[in-house]
């Protein structure tokens, strides 16, 4: 096996650099099945790294089914199949239309031969914790969407950081030595509303409808960004908990909604009152889906690019890239505003 050079200031720990080096050596044909690998001591001495670092890398490669050890003889390459051994645990809050887009792009970008199992916690913290703890050690990578207002850092720290990708929601207490691909909700909502400001000014009040039921919740950053935008731009606003009653709708007001049920209810009630979206009453939905392009002649949205997020997540899984990355959102103008 050719010699490896470790990068001291890399975001990847040295044991992961060694894993990647061996996998790359398999893929470029340098290492062949049945070939003997250097011993832990040999790599430790030649590369001046700790024996425990090499042992950890070899242990991970053994779990992947790529190497095997024979007592008294050393380590050998057991398989050259580097893709079929990737088993990914995915934990979402719920399967909503936009998360289907994310999941489909994640799956297609991971490629064939990668085993993926998906679970849902439905914003139940106990279910979230049990699903993670009960599946520790059963997968070699974990993709987790921690949609909670509670701090779940301690739960997530049960998963080795090199095997974890935090998706969609940031976990601020985890450092940049973790893989985090998230939305900056406060920035995105402020910027999205700013792009729509000339449309919004024709309405008397802008209402934020919180999604507190049916396994959805509104990230606190959304509320902060919404309030900052309205106050900085002198726009009258209110925050309402739900759209359970038709009386919540008022003519010449604009509404920002999250739940699909609220969206359908809003359109039905507006039609019953004879109000035209974009003229008598305004509507913005959060997170785009294909149906919103054609529903009621088009629903204006502020949306994260979930197709891009899915593809980017797959890249980070396959490359074991670490760091905190923000997936940008955009305002899409349609006739409802």
CA-based R_g, the chain, Å = 25
Q: Residue range 154-181: average pLDDT?
A: 93
DSSP state letters, 227-290: HHHHHHTT--EEEES---SGGG--TTEEEEE--HHHHHHHHHHHHHHTPPBTTTBEEEEES--H
Which domains are delineated in the chain? 14-77 (1.10.10.10), 87-183+306-328 (3.40.50.2300), 186-304 (3.40.50.2300)
DSSP state letters, 201-231: TTSSEEEEE---STT----HHHHHHHHHHHH
> What's the CA gap between 183 and 329, in Å, rounded?
8
Q: Give the pLDDT band of residue 215 (cuts 50, 70, 90).
A: very low
- Tell whether the model's pLDDT for residue 11 goes beyond 90: no
- pLDDT 10s digits, 248-261: 899 999 999 988 88
Q: Residue range 276-295: average pLDDT?
A: 94
Residue-level pLDDT at 311? 95
| Cβ-contact 301, 324 below 8 angstroms | no
Q: Give the pLDDT band of residue 145 (cuts 50, 70, 90).
A: very high
Q: Residue range 121-146: average pLDDT?
A: 92
> What's the CA gap between 68 and 76, in Å, rounded?
5
Closest CA to 248 of 278, 288, 208, 280: 208
For tokens 């340098």, what's the residue? 30
**What is the percentage of the chain residues whose pLDDT exceeds 70?**
96
Predicted model pTM: 0.74
> What's the CA gap between 7 and 251, in Å, rounded?
62
> What's the CA gap between 65 and 60, in Å, rounded?
9
- pLDDT 10s digits, 292-333: 999 999 999 999 999 999 999 999 998 888 999 998 889 999
Q: Residue range 9-17: average pLDDT?
A: 83
Closest CA to 326 of 170, 194, 222: 170
Give me the chain's average pLDDT, please: 90
- Tell whether the model's pLDDT for residue 168 goes beyond 90: yes
- pLDDT 10s digits, 43-97: 999 888 999 999 999 988 888 788 998 877 889 998 887 765 688 999 999 888 8
Read off the tokens for 300.
């204006």
């Amino acid at each position: 096996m050719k010699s490896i050079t470790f990068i001291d200031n890399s975001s990847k720990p040295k044991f992961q650099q060694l894993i990647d080096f061996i996998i790359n050596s398999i893929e470029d044909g340098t290492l062949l099945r049945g070939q003997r690998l250097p011993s832990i001591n040999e790599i430790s001495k030649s590369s001046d790294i700790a024996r425990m670092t090499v042992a950890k890398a070899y242990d991970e490669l053994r779990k992947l089914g790529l190497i095997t050890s024979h007592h008294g003889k050393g380590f050998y390459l057991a398989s050259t199949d580097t893709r079929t051994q990737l088993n990914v645990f995915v934990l979402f809050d719920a399967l909503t239309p936009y998360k289907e887009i994310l999941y489909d792009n994640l799956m297609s970008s991971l490629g064939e031969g990668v085993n993926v199992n998906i679970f849902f916690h439905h914003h139940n913290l106990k279910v979230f914790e049990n699903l993670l703890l009960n599946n520790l050690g059963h997968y070699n990578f974990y993709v987790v969407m921690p949609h909670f207002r509670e701090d779940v850092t301690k739960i997530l720290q049960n998963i080795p950081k090199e095997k974890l990708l935090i998706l969609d929601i940031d976990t601020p207490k985890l450092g940049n030595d973790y893989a985090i691909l998230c939305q900056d909700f406060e920035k995105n909502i402020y910027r999205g509303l700013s792009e729509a400001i000339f449309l919004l000014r024709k309405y008397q009040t802008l209402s934020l409808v919180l999604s507190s039921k049916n396994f959805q919740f509104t990230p606190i950053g959304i509320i902060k960004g919404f309030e900052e935008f309205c106050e900085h731009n002198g726009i009258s606003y209110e925050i309402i908990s739900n759209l359970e009653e038709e009386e919540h709708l008022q003519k010449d007001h604009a509404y920002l909604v999250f739940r699909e049920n609220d969206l359908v209810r809003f359109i039905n009630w507006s039609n019953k009152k004879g109000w035209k979206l974009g003229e008598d009453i305004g509507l913005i939905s959060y997170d785009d889906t294909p149906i919103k392009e054609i529903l009621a002649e088009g629903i204006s949205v502020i949306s994260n690019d979930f197709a891009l997020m899915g593809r980017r997540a797959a890249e980070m899984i396959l490359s074991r890239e670490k760091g905190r990355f923000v997936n940008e959102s955009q305002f899409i103008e349609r006739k409802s505003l």
